[in-house]
């Protein structure tokens, strides 16, 4: 098992290029199951989760391979409908094979998904949406078992206790494109990754309107064809590198970042005292002053502040000049990074679904342990600004969502290395 060692205190300077979005790539790769024709998916990040998704497709009899940043999928010989526990249990997004399998194979048996431990993430909206299309679903021996001879369009409300669901929207959308008649998804997720999936499906021949809004309209078609598509840049990776510049007091150019996908975060960075200037295909980031100001943040579904940036913003808040409050409305238990930041000298305490952060002048390096993907990134950010050496263990979480992060940081001056534990 690897760990990352960081010597903090170096302002980062230079250029970092953002990879393709993991959360767009995974459902798009799964959607290639909807056709027997070849699909070519470009700008795919080389991540553990992507490798897992390719393995899942291969286990279904599908020809799938990755060369550099390009994934090719040909589901002509897709002869299985069981997504096995050994693969699915490692990654939450693997559930997005459920909709395509049900639509194309008329049945699916998908293990209950795994992934990061960030709080309860039920599958009720997936089941509700697919049942509304006429599927029979049950949970049996740890698997979601689904069957439907014919799917029929319907009006579906996908509201949950914490708002819309990206993966549930993806599953319903990929099933509805081959259903008979019209489907209206209300309270659909509006995230850019959902829009990217819809654009891919449209290239395959699907009839979809309203993607990027809370109401998505789908007119089912008899068949879909192959398509070529390039994945959008990863807005969470872009946000993480923006904070790396801010927290270290450096100046970074973030290439391939989409400013229109980062509005909520960039708005908060203005309050903190960070300058972000958009120019062509890049963002130029630096602090406006010598200190960072405190900030209050509430995570919400897109276009609100993303839950996937909460931990990284907390890392920055630990060294701000004042008291910040971070409230988690998506995953109220997503605070496992708090104890590790406090090990580094931060002053954070929890009050319900909120974290109260009292900024300190300096963090100090310490051995810490990553609990999930975004917590891993937060600890690396903290390590970049901390005095002395920080050792981040259990970084296999990091490899699920950040492509070559230590290599990218080394190029802009970070003293960071990966070693075997």
Q: Which residues pair with 71 in a beta bridge?
A: 41, 66
Directed axis angle between helix 192-203 and helix 22-31, to 10°?
Answer: 30
Q: Is pLDDT above 90 for 161?
A: no
Give the pLDDT score at 281: 86
Please state the rounded mean pLDDT for residues 297-319: 97
Q: CA dist 358 to 298, 310, 317, 380, Å? A: 17, 16, 8, 19
Query: Closest by alpha carbon to 16, among 229, 233, 232?
Result: 233
Q: Is pLDDT above 90 for 246?
A: yes
Residues 6 or more apart whose CB falls under 8 angstroms from that of 217 comprise: 182, 183, 184, 185, 208, 209, 210
**Is 196 in a helix, a strand, or coil?**
helix
Please state the rounded mean pLDDT for residues 317-340: 95
Contact 392, 376 (CB under 8 A): yes
Residues annotated as catalytic (active site), given as ranges: 116
Query: Closest by alpha carbon to 310, among 345, 273, 276, 357?
Result: 357
Tens digits of residue pLDDT in 194-228? 999 999 999 999 999 999 999 999 999 999 999 99
- pLDDT band with cut points at 50, 70 and 90 for residue 359: very high
Give the pLDDT score at 121: 52
Tens digits of residue pLDDT in 112-125? 875 444 444 578 89
Task: Dihedral sign for Cα 203, 209, 215, 220, please.
Answer: negative
Q: Is pLDDT above 50 for 278?
A: yes
Rounded CA gap, 331 and 122, in Å?
A: 11
Please state the rounded mean pLDDT for residues 230-236: 98
Q: Is pLDDT above 90 for 390?
A: yes
225 dihedral zone (left: phi>0; alpha: psi -120 to 50; beta):
beta
- Tell me the pairing of strands 323-328 and 296-299: parallel
DSSP string of 67-81, one letter each residue = ETTEEEEE-TT----
Give the pLDDT score at 159: 87
If you ran DSSP here, which 8-state letter would residue 231 be given?
P
- Tell me the pairing of strands 107-111 and 155-157: unpaired
Q: Is pLDDT above 80 for 162?
A: no
Least confident range of 187-191, 339-343, 344-348, 396-400 = 396-400
Rounded CA gap, 146 and 98, in Å?
A: 8
Please state the rounded mean pLDDT for residues 94-109: 93
Please state the rounded mean pLDDT for residues 281-302: 94
CA dihedral 60, 63, 65, 69 (to 10 degrees): -100
Contact 201, 177 (CB under 8 A): yes
CA dihedral 94, 98, 101, 105 (to 10 degrees): 140
What percentage of the chain's residues is helix, strand, coil (to nearest 5)? 35, 30, 35
Q: Terminus-to-terminus CA distance in the chain, angstroms? A: 6
Tens digits of residue pLDDT in 14-55? 999 999 999 999 999 999 999 999 999 999 999 999 999 999
Rounded CA gap, 209 and 197, in Å?
A: 12
Q: Give the Cβ contact number of residue 312 at 10 Å.
A: 28
The overall average pLDDT reported for the chain is 94
Give the pLDDT score at 119: 45
Give the pLDDT score at 115: 47
- pLDDT band with cut points at 50, 70 and 90 for residue 94: confident
Contact 209, 217 (CB under 8 A): yes
% of the chain beyond a pLDDT of 70: 98
Q: Is pLDDT above 90 for 364?
A: yes
Contact 379, 5 (CB under 8 A): no
Radius of gyration of the chain measured on its C-alpha atoms: 21
Give the pLDDT score at 91: 79
Please state the rounded mean pLDDT for residues 329-353: 95
Tens digits of residue pLDDT in 44-92? 999 999 999 999 999 999 999 999 999 999 998 777 787 878 888 777 7
Q: Is pLDDT above 50 for 269?
A: yes
Higher model confidence: residue 94 or residue 108? Answer: 108
Domains of the chain: 2-19+233-420 (3.65.10.10), 22-230 (3.65.10.10)
- Tell me the pairing of strands 143-147 and 136-140: antiparallel
Give the pLDDT score at 120: 47
Contact 116, 373 (CB under 8 A): yes
Q: Is pLDDT above 90 for 382?
A: yes
Least confident range of 113-117, 185-189, 402-406 = 113-117
């Amino acid at each position: 098992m690897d760990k990352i060692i960081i010597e903090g205190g170096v302002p980062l300077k230079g250029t970092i290029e953002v990879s393709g979005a993991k959360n767009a790539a995974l459902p798009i790769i799964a959607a290639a199951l909807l056709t027997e024709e070849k699909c070519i998916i470009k700008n795919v990040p080389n991540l553990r989760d992507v490798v897992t998704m390719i393995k899942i497709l291969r286990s279904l009899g599908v020809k799938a391979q990755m060369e550099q940043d390009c994934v090719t999928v040909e589901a002509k010989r897709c002869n299985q409908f069981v997504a096995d526990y050994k693969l699915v249990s490692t990654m939450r997004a693997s559930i997005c094979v459920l909709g395509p399998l049900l639509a194309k194979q008329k049945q699916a048996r998908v293990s209950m998904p795994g992934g990061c431990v960030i709080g309860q993430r039920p599958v009720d909206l997936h089941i509700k949406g697919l049942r509304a299309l006429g599927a029979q679903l049950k949970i049996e021996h740890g698997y979601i078992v689904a069957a439907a001879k014919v799917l029929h369009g319907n009006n579906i409300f996908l509201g949950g206790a914490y708002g819309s669901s990206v993966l549930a929207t993806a599953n319903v959308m990929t099933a509805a494109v081959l259903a008979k008649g019209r489907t209206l998804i209300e309270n659909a997720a509006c995230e850019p990754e959902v829009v990217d999936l819809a654009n891919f499906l449209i290239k395959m021949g699907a009839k979809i309107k309203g993607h990027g809004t809370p109401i998505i309209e789908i007119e089912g078609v008899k068949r879909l064809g192959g398509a070529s598509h390039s994945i959008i840049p990863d807005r969470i990776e872009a946000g993480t590198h923006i904070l790396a510049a801010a927290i270290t007091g450096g100046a970074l150019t973030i290439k391939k970042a989409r400013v229109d996908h980062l509005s909520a975060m960039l708005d908060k960075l203005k309050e903190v005292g960070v300058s972000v200037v958009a120019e062509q295909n890049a963002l130029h980031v630096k602090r406006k002053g010598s200190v960072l100001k405190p900030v209050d943040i509430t995570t919400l579904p897109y276009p609100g502040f993303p839950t996937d940036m909460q931990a990284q913003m907390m890392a920055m808040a630990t060294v701000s000049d004042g008291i910040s409050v971070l409230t988690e409305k998506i995953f109220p238990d997503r605070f496992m990074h708090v104890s590790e930041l406090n090990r580094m000298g931060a002053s954070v305490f929890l009050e319900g679904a909120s974290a109260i952060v009292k900024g300190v002048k300096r963090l100090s390096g310490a051995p810490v342990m990553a609990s999930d993907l975004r917590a891993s990134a937060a600890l690396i950010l903290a390590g970049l600004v901390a005095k002395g050496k920080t050792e981040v263990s259990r970084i296999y979480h990091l490899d699920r969502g950040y492509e070559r992060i230590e290599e990218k940081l080394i190029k802009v001056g970070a003293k960071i290395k990966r070693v075997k534990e």
